[in-house]
Amino acid sequence: MPENRVLWEYARRLQALVRPGDAVARLGGDRFALALAGVRERAHGEALARKAIAASAQPFDLHPQVVRLGASAGLAWRVARDGDPPPELLAHATARLAQAKTGHRGNVA
């Protein structure tokens, strides 16, 4: 199925953006999460969110068709004290994503 190929390719693009200690996970449907380890400045997370959006905007060549997508990003920020992110972090990121989607594609909230 073409949509599965697009998801796989986008996951590969996201994986290329993060460092070895970071994680990329598909949450379901077309939603992905990036967990960044050791990032101390919010601007770094925002920059990576913009790179992820840019990666989605590059054409996906599925031979013979070419697919173009858009994306938005919800950013939740918290420095984990014990090494594990708090469970509400994903809920905060999901709420921010909903906020970003209220505008046009390409937003980061």
Tell me the whole-structure pTM to 2 decimals: 0.85
Distances (CA, A) of 79 to 30, 45, 47, 53, 104: 26, 12, 17, 23, 29
Q: β-pairing, 31-35 with 23-28? A: antiparallel
What was the pLDDT predicted at 83? Answer: 60
Q: Which residue has the higher pLDDT, 85 or 96?
A: 96
Quote the tokens at residue 102.
Answer: 């209220």
Q: Where are the domains of the chain?
A: 2-101
Quick: pLDDT tens for 52-85: 999 999 999 988 889 998 899 998 877 666 666 6
Fold of 2-101: Alpha-Beta Plaits (3.30.70)
15 neighbors 24 (Cβ within 8 angstroms): yes
**Residue 73 per-residue DSSP state:** B
Q: Which residue has the higher pLDDT, 39 or 22?
A: 22
What was the pLDDT predicted at 38? Answer: 81
